[in-house]
Amino acid sequence: ITRVNGFDGEEFESINMANYAAIVQKARDAFGTGRTLSYEFRVKQLKNLLRMFEENDTDLISALESDLRKSKQEACIMEIEICKNEIRQTLLNLKDWMQPDRPEKTFVNMLDDVAIYKDPYGVVLVMGAWNYPVQLTICPVIGAMAAGNCAVIKPSEIATASAKLIADLVPKYLDQECFPVILGGIPETTELLKQKFDYIFYTGSTTVGKIVRAAANEHLTPVTLELGGKSPVYLDGTVNMNIAVKRIMWGKLVNAGQTCIAPDYVLCTRETQEKFVAKAKEVLKEFYGANPKNSPDLCRIVSDKQFQRLKEYLNCGKIVVGGEVDASDRYIAPTILVDVKPTDKVMQEEIFGPILPIVNVENAYEAIKFINSREKPLALYIFSEKGSEKDLFLKNTTSGGVCVNDTIFHAAAEGLPFGGVGCSGMGAYHGKFTFDTFTHHKGTLVKDYNIIGESLAAGRYPPYSEKGLAF
């Protein structure tokens, strides 16, 4: 059995759970054959994966619609095209990435071959999250296979339709022993995490991140943890409000706020808040019409549990925009809260929904103090046209990434690592960083028997004498 369906009842689950060791062993045996190491195998798998996206885009769009009521545009831009581009970029560069690096040599190693070889780890586990269920599950797999690993793929059970589709499609396109898909919820994941992996790549909440890291510890397995947190926006009143508000509201509302780098809250003066709220009302009308509920472009909340959690936040501060909810549709209107206190629930937890609180600060210094008094965020957004203010934030705060005068887009910039710091995660990926994440960089020194080289290092042999000392 290389594919497990954990959705179909107790009996099925218990049988399948018992097979996890066998599935991982099968992947380990496949890795042991050495077939994942060749450039040709990796290219073939990557091309097959690309074909999977090209031939099944309609089904992928439907699955995303069913899980999150994602619009076709968001499904294509934020999930399918991101994966396809990542595969294309990897195919273009793979040969180069696989080559050993040759660092600069010092005098002592002048005659030696000093190289960094790129070893795959072996059998890795990739655990995806539900909010971008395709992108966040498949993008790490692209790097894992490019680096020559086998990967056990575990989509999030919360995005049920996407998870099932991934489990259906992947075995049709990829080597089944090397890339098994395992479905299931917390009991299945708990059981799966007991297995020994050579690397674990996890995307999800900080709370579960700790569980994953503790499980990985048992086998001293290295991990990348792509977690969440509260990503602040600092808004300076001097910016072009028309553009700034659009960029902030889009970043907040794409996927109905269920984005790990969504702007979580805004820090600004009371005066700027007035301008922001007035403009936000116009922008929302432009984006979603008079009643956002009727717009086909606004996603829904993924589950009742998440809906109830978000509804609670509407009791914090004062609602100046939105506030409407409909449990039967898991709809929450784009909402702005003012007069919010740092101790309010909405300011204590990652929001992960279409609710934007504003906290007033007097200036950039106060904003930096506020940010630094909390856990390090995954993203930090600075809206300011003053270069000195931008530098102030860049030098005095730490976050996974930073985007100045826009939101989200730093995650799509080619060449930038994407990842958190502190409670927002460890490790990074995207492009070559994903390849490097799944690669053990093996430092290698090759000497020959050249007599000059031997005499250069002769001082190391006993009997030791003063003249053998280099200092």
Which amino acids are annotated catalytic?
226
Cβ proximity to ligand NAD: between 158 and 346 the closer is: 158
User: Would residue 86 be called left, alpha or beta, if left means φ above 0 and alpha means ψ between -120 and 50 degrees?
Assistant: alpha
Cβ proximity to ligand NAD: between 5 and 205 the closer is: 205
Tokens of 307: 């809906």
CB of 278 to ligand NAD, least distance (A): 30
Tokens of 232: 């602040």
Element housing 20 (H / E): helix 20-32
Say how far apart CA 67 and CA 161 lie, in whole Å.
6
CB of 168 to ligand NAD, least distance (A): 17
CB of 431 to ligand NAD, least distance (A): 15
Q: By Cβ distance, which residue is nearest to ligand NAD?
A: 228
Q: Give the angle subtended at the CA of 169 by the CAs of 72 and 68, to the nearest 5°.
A: 35
Cβ proximity to ligand NAD: between 185 and 342 the closer is: 185
Say how far apart CA 166 and CA 182 lie, in whole Å.
10
CB of 463 to ligand NAD, least distance (A): 58
Cβ proximity to ligand NAD: between 60 and 225 the closer is: 225
- Binding-site ranges for ligand NAD (CB under 6 A): 127, 129-131, 136, 154, 156-158, 185-186, 189-190, 203-205, 208, 211, 226-228, 260, 350, 352, 378, 420, 425
Question: How many angstroms separate the first and last alpha carbons of the chain?
Answer: 63
Tell me the residue type at 26.
K
Cβ proximity to ligand NAD: between 32 and 185 the closer is: 185
Say how far apart CA 82 and CA 104 lie, in whole Å.
35
CB of 183 to ligand NAD, least distance (A): 9
CB of 399 to ligand NAD, least distance (A): 12
CB atoms within 10 A of CB 10: 7
Find where tokens 């107790």 sit: 10
**Residue 97: strand, helix, or coil:** helix
**Residue 69: strand, helix, or coil:** coil
Per the DSSP assignment, residues forming a β-bridge with 383 are 235
Find where tokens 């702007």 sit: 263
The number of C-alpha atoms within 13 Å of 226 and in the hemisphere containing its C-beta is 28
Cβ proximity to ligand NAD: between 206 and 384 the closer is: 206
